[in-house]
């Protein structure tokens, strides 16, 4: 079987261990694996990483040492041409021309939506892997990269807590997450933060100001609020302006963590998840599966049709929001 692998959209820590698991499992089946560089753009440009142009031997040894490596050695991109029907048709022609039997795209919602489009014009097998720090995909409890991004954000918050405590002040920390507040909420709980703003719940400045006064009266001298970039008010900078205007009882500063959260060596949870899902993807191809995403739900490896994955974004858990409120007070 000739399998193409690509990473598309925002990179996520764990994409490299996923590639390693795919190559090693494919080695067991005696498959040929071709790394497609720069995501769907590289597919359209026929930018292939094969035996002839790999820096080291192709196959199982070429992926040695990838468990701990952040980013993606395949490189990634967001490809405008692949968002057009002509682009998708061209990609299908290229896959036929090079006699690919299967494709494993690793990425988030846009990557998997692209894979579903491709399946309309190409009859090879497609099995997607959930790779995004956002944890916003249906069909898996956790996406590859989420655990590392939380770790990175919490390390930053632990440091900010020290300076917030020293100066009796409040930090408004912006984390990534355009559609889903899971990264923000998990970071807030793990970092012992007091307030969170997520895209799923309309933000009320009046309610936040009331909470800040309540915390002040309870004797809390310093505060940390986590804001998801996709919050309806528009992120941490806007939040600071609005809270200032509404009379926040705390002196405030903004920290935008941004792309720092996408980098770094994957934590063990991401390495293990990536390894399980990479192996399961190749196994699934050999069982004849196609048009699905691999995931893990309640410790079980599962396959979900791409059409069911992309219909919506995962939502934060209301129980976790309640938990933050109880614990913070
Ligand atoms: O989808 C992953 C992600 O990191 C989001 O959290 C973020 O909104 C987006 O990518 C940023 O994308 P870019 O690097 O293209 O600005």
11 within 8 A of 50, measured Cβ to Cβ: no
Find the 271 Cα to ligand 1 centroid distance in Å. Answer: 21
Q: How many CA atoms lie within 13 A of 170 on its CB side?
A: 28
Convert the pLDDT of each residue in 296-311 to its tens digit: 999 999 999 999 999 9
CA distance linking residue 61 with residue 78, whole number of Å: 29
Give, using CA atoms, the residue closest to atom 3 of ligand 1: 10
- Cβ neighbors of 9 (< 8 A, separation 6 or more) are 39, 76, 78, 107, 108, 110, 111, 132
Supply the residues annotated as catalytic.
134
143 within 8 A of 133, measured Cβ to Cβ: yes
pLDDT tens by residue, the chain, 329 residues: 999 999 999 999 999 999 999 999 998 999 989 999 999 999 999 998 765 444 433 566 678 889 999 999 999 999 999 999 999 999 999 999 999 999 999 999 999 999 999 999 999 999 999 999 999 999 999 999 999 999 999 999 999 999 999 999 999 999 999 999 999 999 999 999 999 999 999 999 999 999 999 999 999 999 999 999 999 999 999 999 999 999 999 999 999 999 999 999 999 999 999 999 999 999 999 999 999 999 999 999 999 999 999 999 999 999 999 999 888 87
CA distance linking residue 124 with residue 129, whole number of Å: 16
Residues linked to residue 49 through DSSP beta bridges, in sequence order: 35
Beta-sheet strands, E only, within 19-152: 32-36, 48-49, 102-107, 125-130
Give, using CA atoms, the residue closest to atom 1 of ligand 1: 10
| Atom of ligand 1 lying closest to residue 109 CA | 1
Helix, strand, coil distribution of the chain in percent, nearest 5: 45, 20, 40
Model-level pTM? 0.95
231 within 8 A of 239, measured Cβ to Cβ: yes
Convert the pLDDT of each residue in 186-229 to its tens digit: 999 999 999 999 999 999 999 999 999 999 999 999 999 999 99
Find the 307 Cα to ligand 1 centroid distance in Å. Answer: 22
- Give the residues surrounding ligand 1 with Cβ less than 6 Å away: 9-10, 78, 108, 132-134, 176-178, 229, 262
Cα separation values, 205 from 84, 202, 211, Å: 40, 10, 10
| Atom of ligand 1 lying closest to residue 78 CA | 15
Find the 12 Cα to ligand 1 centroid distance in Å. Answer: 10
Give the β-pairing of 32-36 and 48-49. Answer: antiparallel
Residue length of the chain: 329
**Structure tokens, 289:** 């599966």
Find the 13 Cα to ligand 1 centroid distance in Å. Answer: 13
Can you say whether residue 313 is alpha, beta or left, with left for phi > 0 and alpha for psi between -120 and 50 degrees? Answer: beta
**Structure tokens, 204:** 């009320």
């Amino acid at each position: 079987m000739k399998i193409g692998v690509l990473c598309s959209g925002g990179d996520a820590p764990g994409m490299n261990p996923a590639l390693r698991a795919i190559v090693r499992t494919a080695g067991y089946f005696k498959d040929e694996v071709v790394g497609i560089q720069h995501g769907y753009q590289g597919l359209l440009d026929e930018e292939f990483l094969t035996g002839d142009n790999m820096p080291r031997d192709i196959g199982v040894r070429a992926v040695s040492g990838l468990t701990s490596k952040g980013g993606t050695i395949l490189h990634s991109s967001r490809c405008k041409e692949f968002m057009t029907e002509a682009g998708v048709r061209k990609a299908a022609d290229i896959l036929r021309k090079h006699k690919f039997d299967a494709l494993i795209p690793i990425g988030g919602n846009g990557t998997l939506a692209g894979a579903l489009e491709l399946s309309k014009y190409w009859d090879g097998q497609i099995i997607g892997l959930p790779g995004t720090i956002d944890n916003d995909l249906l069909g898996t409890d956790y996406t590859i990269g989420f655990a590392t991004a939380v770790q990175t954000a919490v390390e930053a918050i632990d440091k900010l807590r020290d300076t917030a405590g020293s100066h009796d002040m409040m930090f408004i920390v912006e984390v990534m997450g355009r559609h889903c507040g899971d990264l923000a909420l998990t970071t807030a709980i793990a970092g012992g933060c007091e307030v969170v703003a997520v895209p799923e719940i309309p933000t009320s400045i009046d309610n936040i100001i009331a909470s800040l006064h309540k915390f002040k009266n309870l004797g809390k001298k310093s505060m940390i609020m986590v804001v998801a970039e996709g919050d309806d008010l528009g992120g941490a900078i806007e939040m600071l302006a609005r809270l200032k205007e509404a009379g926040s009882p705390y002196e405030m500063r903004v920290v935008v963590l941004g792309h720092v959260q996408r980098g770094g060596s994957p934590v063990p949870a991401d390495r293990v998840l990536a390894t399980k899902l990479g192996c399961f993807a190749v196994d699934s191809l050999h069982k004849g599966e196609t048009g699905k995403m691999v995931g893990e739900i309640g410790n079980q490896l599962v396959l979900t049709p791409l059409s069911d994955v992309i219909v919506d974004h995962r939502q934060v858990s209301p129980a976790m929001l309640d938990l933050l409120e109880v614990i913070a007070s």
